[in-house]
Amino acid sequence: MSVKLREKKLKNGNLSLYLDIYHKGSRNYEFLNLHLTKPAKTPLDRQHNKETKELANQIRAKKEIELQSVGHDHSPAFKRKASFIAFARKITQQKEESSRKAYNLVANKIESFAGSNDLRFDQINKQWCENFYAYLLDKVSINTAYDNFTKFSHFLNEAVRKEIISTNPAEKVDRKKRKDTHRAYLSFEEIQKLFDTPCNRPELKKAFLFACFTGLRWSDIKALTWGAIQHSEATGYYIDHRQIKTQSYETLPIPDQAMSLLGVSGPEDMGTANNPVFPGIYYSTVVMADLKLWAAKAGITKDITFHVARHTFATLQLTSGADIAIVSKLLGHKDIAVTQIYAKVIDRRKREAVNNLPKLKLKGDDKTI
């Protein structure tokens, strides 16, 4: 590996400076847009040439350090001395509004644990990550600590992607497995109650019920345009889109009753391609409060959030006998283990159904079995 400063003579006699880079068996040239005046007739020309040459040599040295860093699997020191907290805040601002608050809370916890907002990348190693995870376990539940640490690790993965650091030390930390938690979902009868009950926000009602039959996340519902909904005589309606959370392309069949919720009986009823399917909906505490109020009016006592619609879709599909691998694909899960959580819900419902059978009495004995 070598990085050498070279000069190329121009038509006007001046010299153009460039780097001759030989790395991993290949040679590349990088022109610096720096020029030496030839001949240098005046003291000003000579001073210019001296400063330009010094700058070019600094660039050459920096490039050499960067290439050496890549070869030894670590990033340049000047990058690793950057503020991790500032980077995490910047990544948080780029998130969807619905998830921005959660990432910001994690950034706050990182800052609180670090004791200041000037935490640098070069201070974060495996030991620091283990200490931060222990701090989270002391403050919150195992599941919340797991989720918080996952978001922290996401910040570091973004830093790796942007070549600020070469590896993510958080990936080396052993974490306790998440505990299974109860996931609220709606029965078909409860969906019917919601359908029959007026909502202060008709578009929110329509979007929630549509999610119950498609499994779309809030972020995907909000971003859904009419152009993403396609129709085929052979397969019916389907959504062809990139998921906001996973950034993966998915093709999702839409049941006819979900399309009827949108007032669509045929392709001619669909709106303009770039227009949102659910205009005017947005995430706020007021909107989510209206969602809970609507559920309460329908006589539903469960704690309703928009993600309950996604849980409902998964549960209804599995209850109706759909293969778990297919449900996993419909939900856009990259790991079928995530979908297994819903399968456990179905197993629990089966057990409850069996236990609710009438109890037999033995002959001549008042005791039940």
177 CB-contact burial (10 Å; exposed 0-12 / middle 13-18 / buried 19+) = exposed
Compare 66 and 187 and report the one with higher pLDDT. Answer: 187
pTM of the model: 0.52
Is there a contact between 176 and 142 (Cβ–Cβ < 8 Å)? yes
pLDDT at 345: 61
Is the preceding omega at residue 39 within 30 degrees of 0, hence cis?
Answer: yes
Q: How far apart are CA 45 and CA 37, in angstroms?
A: 6
pLDDT at 350: 54
Two structure tokens written together for 321: 């006998």
What's CA 30's distance to the chain center, in Å?
36
| Mean pLDDT of all residues in 43-67 | 89
Q: Residue 105: is its pLDDT beyond 90?
A: yes
Q: Tell me which of 142-146, 152-156, 189-193, 350-354 is least confident.
A: 350-354
User: What residues are paired with 26 via a beta bridge?
Assistant: 23
Domains and CATH numbers, the chain: 2-72 (no CATH), 81-172 (1.10.150.130), 188-354 (1.10.443.10)
Average pLDDT value over all residues in the chain: 83
Give me the mean pLDDT over the 59-79 stretch. 68
- pLDDT(336) > 70: no
Q: How far apart are CA 365 and CA 306, in angstroms?
A: 51
Comparing 57-61, 93-97, 155-159, 341-345, the range with the smallest average pLDDT is: 341-345
Question: Rounded distance, CA 247 to CA 132, Å?
Answer: 29
Angstrom distances, CA of residue 92 to CA of 102, 166, 242: 9, 21, 20
Q: Is the pLDDT of residue 239 over 90?
A: no
Q: Can you tell me the mean pLDDT for 309-315?
A: 87
Would you say residue 318 has pLDDT above 60?
Answer: yes
- The contacts of residue 104 (CB under 8 Å, 6+ apart) are 89, 92
Residue 5 dihedral angles phi and psi, to the nearest 5°: -85, 125
Give the pLDDT score at 73.
Answer: 44
Which tens digits make up the pLDDT trace of 251-308? 788 888 888 888 887 788 888 888 999 988 877 777 888 999 999 999 999 888 888 9
* pLDDT exceeds 90 at position 99: no
Cβ-proximal residues to 235 (8 Å cutoff; 6+ apart), any chain: 253
Residue 77's pLDDT band, with cuts at 50, 70 and 90, is: low
186: nearest Cα among 314, 294, 281, 278 = 314
Coil, strand, or helix at residue 288? Answer: helix
Is residue 244 predicted with pLDDT exceeding 50?
yes
Q: What is the pLDDT of residues 159-191, one digit of tens each?
A: 988 888 888 999 989 988 876 666 788 988 999
Q: pLDDT above 90 covers what percent of the chain?
A: 37
User: What per-residue confidence (pLDDT) applies to 184?
Assistant: 82
Tell me if 306 sits within 8 A of 219, measured CB to CB: no
